[in-house]
Chains A and B, each alone.
Chain A
Amino acid sequence: MAKAESFSVVGQRIQRVEGYEKVTGETRYIADIVLPKMLIGRILRSPFAHAKILHIDTSRAEKLRGVRTVVTAEDTIKKPWGAFFADQYPLSVGKVRYVGEEVAAVAAVDRDAAEEALDLIDIEWEELPAVFDAEEAMQQGAPLVHEDKERNIAMTIDVERGDIQKAFAESDLIVEDTFESTPQWHCAIETIGSVAEYSPNGKYTIYMNTQTLFSARGRIAAALGVRETDIRIIQSAVGGGFGGKSCDDNNALVAAILARKAGRPVKIINTREEEFLAGSRPRVFMKIYVKMGFKKDGRIRAKQTRVIADNGAYSAKAPAITGVAALRHDTCYRYSDVKTQAYLVYTNKIPTGAFRGFGNPSAEWAVEQTIDEAAHELGIDPLEIARMNAAEPGYVSPHGNRVISCELKQCIDLTEKMMDWKSTQANKKPNTGLGLACTVHVSGKRHFGDYDGSSATIKINEDGKALILSGEGEAGQGCYTTMCAIAAEELGIPIEDVEISRADTDLTTFCLGAFASRLTYISGNAVRDAASNVKRQLFEQAAEMLEANPEDLVSRDGRIFVKGAEQKAFTVADVARARLFRNGGAPIVASGKFDADSVLQDSTRYGNESGAYNYGCQAAEVDVDRETGRVKILRYVCASDCGTVIYPVGAEGQVEGAVAQGIGYALTEGLRMEDGRPLNPNFSDYRIPSMRDMPPLKHAFADSYEPTGPFGAKGLGELGMDPTAAVIGNAIFDAVGVRIKTLPITPEKVLKALKEKEKEKKGK
């Protein structure tokens, strides 16, 4: 239920705070940072998927004109690091496990010298048998990617809630199927980069375009064997993140190692090819077996999944991603009896990692298509099956997720309306079809220790402007604008009077960064708390000046007055100056914090993983060319429940961008690999949607209010791409009666399926 609140900033057509610098080209991205005496670093990468390094000779490279330093594992402490499992090294120790792994690096006076030096590093290799398929890797006797991981299994989940046997026995219809997702790259137009410098007093300063500064600091400190405070990370502007810039790669570490040895700052900017090989860690490739039981009327009775997740050579965030793929969907509909088994398996391929949606897009690709299959078999409109099973406020999932606000049903209604579902269905042209899918996402996830919080500091300057100091991860998505809006609303000042600093681990307080759609909800709450605390200081001062009680004061449009007596007011600047410029004066500054009311999952993966849950429903109308298999999306609609919409154009942009990524995932993106070697690591062959590829897109936000969120808001960033592939898959089925079970849905696969269906028909 929406709560009536009138806002002066929140929900208004506010402007992006960094808008002007971005349209003039003034924004300083990582590649734009130049330090005195700075060298250019380049990384030598493994040409083999699995090989022993017998010997490295760097002497020829060191002698090349312009080269200042060459490093190998011998220049490191050889300690593994990683977000969940410490399993990767900054530079290979003893052996390499995928094509693209960092083996050595050079720093030189310019790009050309650095590149030429790479060819002069001589390495003796001994190739090892490699494994590229997760299921093969799980067989006894398969080559071991990490010697200590039996059957290459990095992690297992095995969870049953309720009584799955009984639930299937009580089902009227059982649907079983197997689906495969695909690795997907973030393709932020800016690649990962860093500029590192080392001061002889032992401190590293690293400029990074990361979306998770403090996590980066922790991991880099661990890998370098120093304390957190010995690392200072300063965030440059970030040219898109989507999970890919959450420091699971070695770029900054190698720059730091080079900088220390060279005694000069070193910059490393990934090339696009490096970004595909070993930069942003792609979405985990999964094979998902689904079995679901339904009652005749369409109610879901049982759900069982088996997930084989291909980790690649190193783990990064894949352990958590696999967990999400196995369990998260059980918060979307009202489930009682569920079982899941999931395996995260090492292979000699590019390490996978966090990508917008985490495990959700892969799981929904499988589960939402299975539900659609059931709808068709039962002769029930897929829209109705979604509606009758949809989660509601107060729902507690079998794994303990406690849903407070939930407008999934409203999202389904909005989708129905925007798509004009019933009449479009009734007047369907040949080879066109409608499909839909629903989704749930978290607003922050408790999984890095027992903490899913944030903090912020706000100071009021003498001119009455507020400055937010936040260590959170603006990656281009616009969270700074959201934070400024929240602070402005709470402080009662115009948004133009709020500024926000770039994150810097030495100057801002601890924040986890941008992941799990957490910033609006988690850091928004922390900013609001800081604003509320700093407002208290302002009101204490203003109360003296107005000869009133602080609790009787209000602030609006930058003026503070006694409620009901607006004619006598002081500006925030007046109050700030009065507080500062006096004997014993003090600055007006306060911090705020928030930690979600969630629970760290126990060893059985039980626990309320997030403070709030976001919901969405999407639908597409497609046209399929039966002769070529080409799928054209005629229309796309999406409805999202993200609570109060704080920054409307920003929110629209999040959904639109997410859907575009979902469409790429569904239809065009896919890296072809041969023996672990990518064949198309470039934008020419790996196709992300262009402007000409995007269908007309409509969206709506549900009228929703999350009581625990800042001004009723919750997360949104990932929701938009979670169900998209399933939506398109379902629409294709509706159009031509074939179901594609592996991503991406290429025209070739559609054509093949159509032909097989034709054959079957003739056979009968």
Chain B
Amino acid sequence: MKQTVRLNINEQWYQEEVEPRLLLSFFLREQAGLTGTHVGCVIGECGACTVILDGRLVKSCLLFAVQADGRSILTIEGLAKDGKLHAVQEAFVQQYGLQCGYCTPGMILATYYLLRRNPNPTEEQIREALGGNLCMCTGYVHIIEAVNAAAKELKNRQD
């Protein structure tokens, strides 16, 4: 039986009748039209579908949309404000923390989540926090540089 799901995504409410078996990742992409959340494996291994649910970093392919009913979600589309990139996004562009870009939204949200909790991560902490995001293009070197650059920039902004 279809159920009504109401989600606050990037500070906007979306309400849809959905089958309980609909994954959150597909709700975001197909119901809400937010295709920045990518799908790479659907078993929680690649991290491309990472979003932030009520302040927690989660993989949206390991969650049914009905489980998120009434809750708040931040996707990659909600990160830039007033046409200005978030510092993490800016750092991924500046430091070339991407190639094909498919894993990038997940990487950026994982970085955003990490830096909110730990503004000065060590390289080991970065590797641990982003270990759940697979990237086959970059070998991760420039991604780590991007995370470091973002941390620095966010600190500068606070000073």
Contacts and interface: CB of A to CB of B under 8 A. Distances in A.
A and B, direct touch (CB closer than 8 Å): yes
Nearest to B96: A649
Interface in B106-159: 108, 126-128, 130-144
A721 B60 CA distance: 33
Contacts of A690: 131-134
B4 interface: no
B131 A188 contact: no
Nearest to A694: B140
Size bin of chain B's contact surface: 35 or more
Interface string A20-48: 11111111110110000000000000000
Interface in B1-39: 19, 21, 26, 29, 34-39
Given A23-B104, A112-B19, A476-B99, A188 B93 contact: no
Nearest to A272: B41
Nearest to A685: B45
Given A16-B98, A684-B45, A23 B134 contact: no
B139 A694 contact: yes
Nearest to B39: A31
Nearest to A33: B35
B134 A478 contact: no
B65 interface: no
Interface residues of A, number: 56
Given A186-B136, A691-B127, A692-B127, A240 B141 contact: no
A271 interface: yes
A188 B99 CA distance: 11
Interface in B55-83: 75-77, 79-80
B45 A477 contact: no
Given A29-B38, A190-B102, A476-B101, A240 B93 contact: no
A22 B101 CA distance: 5
Interface stretch (A74-82, A327-335, A652-660): A652-660
A134 interface: no
Candidate in B85, B89, B136 with the most chain A CB atoms within 10 angstroms: B136
A41 to B, nearest CB: 16
A28 B35 contact: yes
Contacts of B130: 691
B96 A239 contact: no
Contact of B138 (A15, A23, A653): A653
Contact of A650 (B89, B96, B105, B134): B96
B53 interface: no
B52 interface: no
B100 A24 contact: no
A25 B34 contact: yes
A238 interface: yes
Contacts of A688: 134, 136
Contacts of B126: 691
A691 to B, nearest CB: 4
Contacts of B77: 24-25
B50 to A, nearest CB: 12
A23 B48 contact: no
A24 B102 contact: no
Contacts of A186: 136
Given A23-B98, A31-B35, A189-B38, A682 B93 contact: no
Contacts of B36: 24-26
Given A31-B39, A652-B142, A660-B140, A23 B100 contact: no
B134 A16 contact: no
A533 to B, nearest CB: 31
A243 B7 CA distance: 40
Given A26-B36, A272-B42, A189 B94 contact: no
A448 interface: no
Nearest to B34: A25
Contact of A697 (B89, B132, B141): B141
Which 6 A-B pairs have CB atoms at the shortest separation, nearest pair first? A25-B36, A476-B100, A239-B102, A22-B101, A656-B139, A660-B139
18 contacts: A21-B101, A23-B92, A23-B105, A24-B79, A25-B77, A26-B36, A29-B38, A32-B35, A188-B136, A238-B100, A239-B100, A649-B95, A649-B96, A653-B96, A653-B142, A682-B41, A683-B41, A690-B133
Given A19-B92, A241-B100, 18 more contacts: A24-B76, A26-B36, A189-B46, A189-B134, A239-B101, A240-B99, A240-B137, A272-B41, A476-B101, A649-B95, A652-B141, A657-B138, A660-B136, A660-B139, A682-B43, A688-B134, A690-B132, A692-B127
